[in-house]
Amino acid sequence: MVSFKNHAFVHLIYVICIISCIQFSVSEIKDTHIIEDSRSMILFERFGFALNGHVSISIKDVSWKSRLQGAELNPSSMGFFLLRETSYPMILNESEYTDGFCVVSSKYVQLIFKFDKLAKDSSYNGSITIVDPDEYDLYFGNCQPEFEVSMDVHTEMYNVKGNTKDFLPAGEIQLPRMYFLYFLIYSGFFAIWVILCIKQRPTVDKIHLIMGALLLFKALKLVCAAEDKLYVRRTGTPHGWDIAFYIFGFFKGVVLFTVIILIGTGWSFLKPYLQEREKNVLMTVIPLQVLENIASAVIGETGPATKDWLTWNQVFLLIDVTCCCAVFFPIIWSIRGLREASKTDGKAARNLAKLTLFKQFYLVVVSYIYFTRVVVFWLAAVVSYKYEWVVNMVVEGASLAFYFYIFYNFQPIERNPYLAIDDEEEAAAAQALEEDDSFEL
């Protein structure tokens, strides 16, 4: 048996850091095809188990071939096992001080079976019951990486409520209800926005119609998420709801970044056109959102056992960071432009109001992106797996607060904060702009 190399665990820790930022696929019944794979550890799924949870595995058409001539396979060096996240440091320590260490035989893993239990037709069917509730990762371990393994793997992971299988992890049971509640909130939000636009028709600009579309796509995404989770909870597979979720999620993402960029440039409020550099930002973000949606779908549907899954994770995170950074530039350009204009156009009070609003908008966008991209991951790391739904609730709550801020401050009213300035304020505003440099970036 070839000893399990420590560099495999270093790579594994890196993988864990990446996957902690991404949700796993919506299906808990999976069919995975492994083709000539020599990875030392293959992650199949992460699942939060309650008491008496179950893991069922069926594999067939198992075969392997050696990359080294004359190498002999030890079937006990390969197998499936469950592993807690808290056990990684202990396994790493064990690998450093144990000769001929093999993770499949580690005392810190919950072994499901080794390949020495394969039937003559290279198949296996079995299940285990979880007696110690926790969040577990399902792995395939290969302590002889000179062998490439091929197999078809069918996995089912679920908890039991009475006599019914519950395919949602313990921490996601509340998600269908929570998503549906937010769907109702956004539906009401959309209805109010439509009524407001009808009442204020003379002051409605194109940006207000785009903002309405954002609310609609957000509501449709949430109702699809609710139905998706509910269907998975009952059946283990999404059956089409995930496709609708990805479609509406794509439109929501594109429209959200578009709204932020257009408001940040002052389009439709301050000017009826976009400058060339602002168009370039918009034309960069939209294709990136298309690619991000593709990456999200691949991540959600293929699962971490796929060889390219980690690459798509990295693509997803890179695109998300790029889009978040890109939306800041139009806002900064607008702030700088207003700061310069305030010194020359004789409209100090109006520019001061615009500048203040842009400053607030910039800070709110920064806070929202920082919270949903950084703070949430920290929160997910410290919250028990039983309360994962709380993290989703916090994210949706932050998004709702962000939407409310945007829609309240940029609603179609006659005295919009961009323009609602009295002439009497000019002198005081001019003095404030002359003395105050707090708007410099």
Contact of 39 with 146, CB cutoff 8 Å:
no
Could you tell me the pTM of the whole model?
Answer: 0.83
| Residue 102 belongs to a domain | yes
Tell me how crowded residue 103 is: count the other CB atoms within 10 A of its CB.
Answer: 24
Q: What pLDDT band is residue 3 in, cutting at 50, 70 and 90? A: very low
Burial (CB count within 10 angstroms: exposed 0-12, middle 13-18, buried 19+), residue 417: middle
- Dist CA 383 CA 190 (whole Å): 32
Is residue 1 over pLDDT 50?
Answer: no
Is residue 115 located within the same domain as residue 197? Answer: no
pLDDT of residue 428: 46
Q: Of the ranges 39-53, 151-165, 183-197, 405-419, which is most confident?
A: 183-197
pLDDT of residue 264: 83
Is residue 121 over pLDDT 70?
Answer: yes
Is residue 229 over pLDDT 70?
Answer: yes
- How many residues in the chain? 441
Tell me how crowded residue 371 is: count the other CB atoms within 10 A of its CB.
Answer: 17
Is residue 231 located within the same domain as residue 201? Answer: yes
pLDDT of residue 28: 78
CATH code of the domain in which 160 resides: 2.60.120
Mean pLDDT calculated for residue range 246-257: 91
Contact of 418 with 353, CB cutoff 8 Å:
yes
The enclosing H or E element of 63 equals strand 53-66
Percentage of the chain with pLDDT > 70?
A: 83
Average pLDDT of the chain? 83
Domain that holds residue 321: 170-435
pLDDT of residue 424: 46
Mean pLDDT calculated for residue range 6-34: 61
**307-333 pLDDT tens trace:** 777 778 788 888 888 888 888 888 888
Which residue's structure tokens are 């696929």?
A: 25
Q: What pLDDT band is residue 427 in, cutting at 50, 70 and 90? A: very low
Is residue 79 located within the same domain as residue 212? Answer: no
| Residue 181 belongs to a domain | yes
- Dist CA 232 CA 9 (whole Å): 32
Mean pLDDT calculated for residue range 381-401: 93
More confident residue, 334 or 174: 174
| Residue 388 belongs to a domain | yes
- Dist CA 18 CA 150 (whole Å): 26
Is residue 122 located within the same domain as residue 265? Answer: no
pLDDT of residue 162: 82
Q: What pLDDT band is residue 343 in, cutting at 50, 70 and 90? A: low
The tokens describing 166, both together, are 């519950």
Pick the range with the lowest mean pLDDT from 127-136, 207-216, 256-265: 256-265
Closest to 294 in 3D by CA, of 273, 308, 278: 308
Is residue 150 over pLDDT 90?
Answer: yes
166, 196, 228 — which closes off a domain?
166
CATH code of the domain in which 404 resides: 1.20.1070
Is residue 156 located within the same domain as residue 187? Answer: no
Q: How many domains does the chain have?
A: 2
pLDDT of residue 433: 47
Is residue 174 located within the same domain as residue 72? Answer: no
Is residue 181 located within the same domain as residue 72? Answer: no
Pick the range with the lowest mean pLDDT from 24-33, 280-289, 337-346: 337-346
More confident residue, 78 or 345: 78
Is residue 80 located within the same domain as residue 126? Answer: yes
132, 148, 166 — which closes off a domain?
166
Helix (H) and strand (E) counts in the chain:
12, 9
Backbone φ and ψ of 29, nearest 5°: -110, 115
The enclosing H or E element of 154 equals strand 147-161
Closest to 429 in 3D by CA, of 329, 353, 375, 363: 353
Q: What pLDDT band is residue 381 in, cutting at 50, 70 and 90? A: confident
Closest to 118 in 3D by CA, of 168, 156, 37, 63: 63
| Residue 137 belongs to a domain | yes
Is residue 152 located within the same domain as residue 176? Answer: no
More confident residue, 343 or 325: 325
| Residue 3 belongs to a domain | no
